[in-house]
Structure 1
Amino acid sequence: MPQPERSRVYVLTVDQIASRSNPDRAGTTVEELNRRHHERLLLAADRTAGDEFQLATDDAALALGIALDLVRDGGWSVGLGQGGVRLPLPEATRAATGEAFYAARDAVTRAKKSALRFALESSDQQRGADLEAIVVLLLHLRERRTAGGWEVADLLAAGATQTEAAERLGLTESSISRRVAAAGIRAEVAATGAIVRLLSELDGTVGVSTPDQEDDR
């Protein structure tokens, strides 16, 4: 008998880059993500196999924010999947299933072969592809940001004003303004807001998976 699904769920499947030659970071990263975001996760970050982990949320802003942070870290391939998930949700993420998890699996497989180590898959395939293209442009902007630009970006993201950022960094307000412009911070804020809105509007209504259909996966 078909099982109910919850739509508009975002799943991140994340795999450590070059794990055979680098220390295993999956465990500590899972702990940190759960400590910071546990109240906003449908399913906590959970190690699935080796150096890979998954998490699930219905919060588009959180899903995007975590994905951007992990790509910035430089040590991960990040797949963002959107779609339905099988209900009732299990206690452990690794026991969950549904279209969002299949999408995230496909996405991380592609991410491993992409220059920026990110990919997005959705049950709404065309709009998902369009969104991936926009996120990749944002990632290119962030990749070009200098350490000085990140100093300012992080302070502003934490709630500081430009005046406060100038005081903390020992710079003039005009210097901060130039860093903001050079780092594309205003463009990033606008793009991030747009991406979150578009993610939230993705059609999460998918065909309900039957056990036989899931076996075919």
Structure 2
Amino acid sequence: MYVLTVDQIASRSNVDRAGHAVDLLNARYRDRLLLAADRTAGDEFQLATDDAGIALTIALDLLRDSGWSVGLGQGDVRTPLPTSTRAATGAAFYAARDAVTRAKKAPLRFALSASDAQRGADLEALIVLLLHLRERRTAGGWEVADLLHEGLTQAEAATRLGLTESSVSRRVAVAGIRAEAAATEAIVRLLTDLDRPGRHHREDTR
């Protein structure tokens, strides 16, 4: 399983955004979460899923916002699962706690901890590279990326934005949109493989 522990940056000097984030994530992904997003303490919240793609998507979306420290943990959980995220425990939750603690000191506010420490460190490095690519993307690049993510073709995106197709193609290239898509697919496969030995959640004895 994958657990995300998310903490708001500089919450004491900013308005509390955790409640809105929890509501938004549950509305968008509730049927893909094993345990819904829920506050754990103050401006922090957690969620759990067995879908590597959803775990990565949520992490990337939150980090694009630049207002969160995100820890991604992978491992077993204690079963049967409770109805509330706050009542859940197990290795994945301990890993997510370790990850978010490290994320708070990381330049891009992300860390990953896993049952296989070396493979987890390798995946963290790859995701950080992906975050660096996304961090350099301009507003214009994101404009095109978001339209393509919605399912539009480059020609349709050009029409929507009032641009030529060649202009959109240049934005795609400069923004690294194709490279991001390929890297994201590869990372999801590696995350899925990372969780494979423990996908049948064993009873946690801790």
Task: Answer whether TM exceeds 0.5 for this pair.
Answer: yes
Q: Does 1:143 align with 2:135?
A: yes
Using the alignment, how far apart are the partners of 1:158 and 1:95 within structure 2? 36
In structure 2, the partner of 1:200 is 192
Q: Does 1:31 align with 2:23?
A: yes
> What is the CA distance between 1:124 and its match in structure 2?
1.1
Q: Does 1:11 align with 2:13?
A: no
1:201 aligns to what SS in structure 2?
helix
User: Which residue, 24, 33, 37 being the options, matches 1:41?
Assistant: 33
> What is the CA distance between 1:209 and its match in structure 2?
3.0
Give the TM-score taking structure 1 as reference length.
0.92
Give the aligned residue type for 1:89.
L
Q: Does 1:132 align with 2:124?
A: yes
User: Which residue, 204, 209, 214 being the options, matches 2:204?
Assistant: 209
Give the aligned residue type for 2:47.
L
Give the aligned residue type for 2:168.
I
Using the alignment, how far apart are the partners of 2:81 and 2:51 within structure 1? 16
In structure 1, the partner of 2:164 is 172
Deviations, residues 99-147 of structure 1 (Å, cap 9, x unaligned): 0000000000000000000000100111110000000000000000000
Unaligned ranges ≥5, structure 1: 1-8
Deviations, residues 42-91 of structure 1 (Å, cap 9, x unaligned): 00000000000000000000000000000000000000000011000000
Q: Which runs of 4+ in 1 moved over 4 A?
A: none
Over the matched positions of the two proteins, sequence identity in percent amounts to: 78
Give the aligned residue type for 1:34.
N
User: Which residue, 168, 177, 183 being the options, matches 2:175?
Assistant: 183
Q: Does 1:53 align with 2:45?
A: yes
1:84 aligns to what SS in structure 2?
coil
User: Which residue, 95, 100, 103 being the options, matches 1:103?
Assistant: 95
Contact 2:154 2:165 in 1 (8 A): yes
> What is the CA distance between 1:15 and its match in structure 2?
0.1
Give the TM-score taking structure 2 as reference length.
0.96
In structure 2, the partner of 1:5 is none
Using the alignment, how far apart are the partners of 1:108 and 1:159 within structure 2? 33
Please show how residues 117-128 of structure 1 align to structure 2 within 5 Å.
117-128=109-120
